[in-house]
Amino acid sequence: MLTEEEITQLLKPVKDPFLHRTLEETGGIIQVTVKEEKQHISVKVGIGKTNTAEQMQLQQEIVGILKKNGAATVGLRFEQLPDEVIQKYQPAVEKEQEASLMGGSNPHFVTIASGKGGVGKSTVTVNLAMSLMRIGKKVGIIDADIYGFSIPDMMGIEERPAVRAEKIIPVERFGIKVISMGFFVEDNSPIIWRGPMLGKMINSFFKEVEWGDLDYLLLDLPPGTGDIAMDVHELLPTSKEIIVTTPHPTAAFVAARAGQMAIKTEHEILGVIENMAYFESKTTGEKEYVFGQGGGKKLAEVLQTKVLGQLPLQQPYEEEDVFAPSIYQEDHPLGKEYHKVAAKIISKMED
């Protein structure tokens, strides 16, 4: 009959299916009891999450090990490990999950969200990407707004991705790597897929795309809190989030829902960007608050974060040789504002 010490030694190398650490590392072998007269072994095991399919697989693994080594009958009880143990290993597990998703690469993930459409979320995404690139970062964009994809048009992208060794090669424009649903539909056709199909497409944007070495991967989410936003939150547990709104109180009210979703899924909100904050007359220099005032500040207060930038209504400069209708040049007043926002993001993400 196995002794308590022998049982403990046999179970030490077994891995917690959630924390990806051995039971020895996590202190997961809580109690071992041997009843020699009945040739029965009883074990209490602590793991990262109980009552799951993974727990059932672990149970089979442990019972198999003990019976192979002479146990007649085995009784197992599971309980959740203390919060401090889970918190010690969880960040590393999340990073491993994301690195696996990206084929080993592990950039900083930033999701750009809004409560409603039409607030300039995609414009913010492409211009933050440009500003990060100008600062010297290697940047990619996933246009995750499957139904309302617009990133390729905004950046003036006309070519399609290539395929090499069964991997999709993202289109590169201005040094930024881009993947979008817009590359895979013909003639701006409507998308009629449902939730599960959309989830598979988002997975493909990570796993089947050759991103290479990136510092930042920005995700332009669909407005609201639908299936795609939920899938992204689950796939990228360490992603940080930026909420885009206009100054209008209703836009800020709706945007709060997207922010609350980030909070519930334990995603840090980097801050709020108030887009279309005002219009400044070139003639008089006077500011007109076309969409009202205060929405961004109020939203930041509700979400207990800060306003990263208040961006005015302006057009990019026209350039004869470059078609990129939504990108602000580096020396443009708005280009300078985006630079300040990008610098704040780098400070928050890399400190």
Output the pLDDT for position 230. 73
Q: What pLDDT sits at residue 260?
A: 80
CATH of 4-81, one of 3.40.50.720, 3.30.300.130, 3.40.225.10, 3.30.70.1400: 3.30.300.130
Which pTM value belongs to this model? Answer: 0.74
Stated length of the chain: 351
Q: State pLDDT tens for residues 98-128.
A: 766 777 678 899 999 888 788 899 999 999 9
Average pLDDT over residues 188-214: 71
265/206 Cα distance (integer angstroms) = 20
Cα 197 to Cα 130: distance, rounded to the nearest angstrom: 31
> Does the pLDDT value for residue 346 go beyond 90?
yes
Return the pLDDT at 100. Answer: 67
CA–CA separation, 200 and 146 (whole Å) = 12
Q: What is the mean pLDDT of residues 169-185?
A: 89
Q: Please compute the mean of the pLDDT values over residues 216-242 and round it to a whole number.
A: 80
Quick one: average pLDDT of 184-192?
61
Q: How far is the C-alpha of 153 from the C-alpha of 326, rounded, in Å?
A: 8
Q: Give the per-residue pLDDT at 166.
A: 84
Check residues 40 and 106 and name the one with the higher pLDDT: 40
pLDDT band of 170, cuts 50, 70, 90: very high
- In this prediction, residues 45-64 reach a mean pLDDT of 91
From the list 253, 248, 265, the residue with the least C-alpha distance to 111 is 265
Domain ranges of the chain: 4-81, 92-350
- Write out pLDDT tens, residues 121-140: 999 999 999 999 999 999 99
Spatial separation of the C-alpha atoms in residues 216 and 349, rounded to whole Å: 10
User: What's the gap between Cα 265 and its chain centre?
Assistant: 11
Cα gap 217→140, rounded to integer Å:
5
pLDDT score of 93 more than 70: no
> For 92-350, which CATH superfamily applies?
P-loop containing nucleotide triphosphate hydrolases (3.40.50.300)
Nearest to 243 by CA among 306, 154, 198: 306
Give the pLDDT of residue 314: 92
